[in-house]
Amino acid sequence: MAFLVCVTGRDNSKLMAELRASLPDVDIREWPDAGELAEIEFVLAWNAPESLWQQLPNLKVVQSFGAGVDGITLSALPADVQVCRIVDPALADDMAEYVLGHVLAHKLRLGLYYRQQQQRLWRPKRACAGNRVGILGLGQLGQVAATKLQRNGFEVLGWSRSEKALEGITQFWGQSQLSEFASQCDYVVCLLPLTAQTRGILNKALFEAMPSHGVLINVARGAHLNEIDLLDALDNEQIAAATLDVFASEPLAAEHAFWDHPKITMTPHVAALTSLKTATAQIVANMQAMQKGQPLSHCVDLKLGY
């Protein structure tokens, strides 16, 4: 039995050291030095090659090295394989703090005053009046963000794939209610999982439904956003501004139009960073649970994708 780490696009030396120290009796391998593939039962994955999954006849568990599972081609996995994700309790608080901070930054016009400072301009204005924050996605991250916003005096609206009962949140659900939701939001925050249904959901139709003073904040996945539609919406004053922490391709290309756009605030995918120790502890716990035939933690529905 072997454990394969297939997390591409990053230096995994610290991760491998943590895993081997925590699982000294387990044969832990790192892609592409996978050895005999029939021996592998547990894979820690992010952006693994799709062709890998067909070569693992005894695969039992795929553990995502992230809060989502969009870095794994779920459709390529056998139906009996369990897929788990990382759930970092601190991550939700960090995300909520980021969302609150950027809502306040737009409300208080801090970007405007920063630009005026560079030009030595003195033009005071009242804070923006809008107080309604709409959250796309009412999972763990969305609910914690909603609570923090409410505690700071904001009215929260929420949209989800299906109906939910959450106290204190004006709720919308399903595709038929998406435009109505967007039309009532001063700020739209995307915290959705990335699925076939949510890919490209931040698009022309949504921006046309939002009020002209509306602000988009995307902290979910870059593939949720139609970039051309956003640029058009900003240039045509359909919406007022956007804060983006995630992008379809990261790091963002130096020639990308987002860098110099006066209505876009960007951060380099830092809204919520999972602790390596927290992630390792959950990975190790699921590995040990698999060995003992016990239930795994934070499993996802392969059909829903979250």
What's the pLDDT tens digit per position in 205-236?
999 999 999 999 999 999 999 999 999 999 99
Task: Let me know if residue 80 belongs to a domain.
Answer: yes
Please report which confidence band the pLDDT of residue 237 belongs to, taking 50, 70 and 90 as the band edges: very high
What are the φ/ψ torsions at residue 93 (nearest 5 degrees)?
-65, -40
Most distant pair of Cα atoms in the chain: their distance: 69
In a shared domain, residues 73 and 95: no
DSSP 22: H
% pLDDT > 90, the chain: 88
Number of domains in the chain: 2
Task: Let me know if residue 283 belongs to a domain.
Answer: yes
In a shared domain, residues 103 and 125: yes
**Is the bond preceding residue 89 a cis peptide, omega within 30 degrees?**
no
- pTM of the predicted model over 0.75: yes
Task: Let me know if residue 304 belongs to a domain.
Answer: no
In a shared domain, residues 202 and 288: no
Mean pLDDT of the chain: 95
Task: Let me know if residue 154 belongs to a domain.
Answer: yes
Neighbours of 54 (CB within 10 A): 12
Domain of 122, CATH number, reads 3.40.50.720
In a shared domain, residues 106 and 231: yes
- What amino acid positions are annotated as catalytic residues? 221, 269
Question: Exposed, middle or buried by CB within 10 Å (0-12, 13-18, 19+), for 131?
Answer: middle
In a shared domain, residues 45 and 124: no
Report the C-alpha gap between 47 and 74 in whole angstroms.
11
DSSP 241: E
In a shared domain, residues 51 and 159: no
% pLDDT > 70, the chain: 100
The confidence score (pLDDT) of residue 67 equals 85
Task: Let me know if residue 298 belongs to a domain.
Answer: no
In a shared domain, residues 34 and 108: no
Task: Let me know if residue 300 belongs to a domain.
Answer: no
In a shared domain, residues 192 and 101: yes
In a shared domain, residues 117 and 200: yes
Q: Which domain holds residue 112?
A: 90-266
Task: Let me know if residue 30 belongs to a domain.
Answer: yes
What's the pLDDT tens digit per position in 170-199?
999 999 999 999 999 999 999 999 999 999
In a shared domain, residues 96 and 244: yes
Task: Let me know if residue 303 belongs to a domain.
Answer: no
In a shared domain, residues 142 and 288: no
Report the C-alpha gap between 36 and 28 in whole angstroms.
12
In a shared domain, residues 71 and 164: no
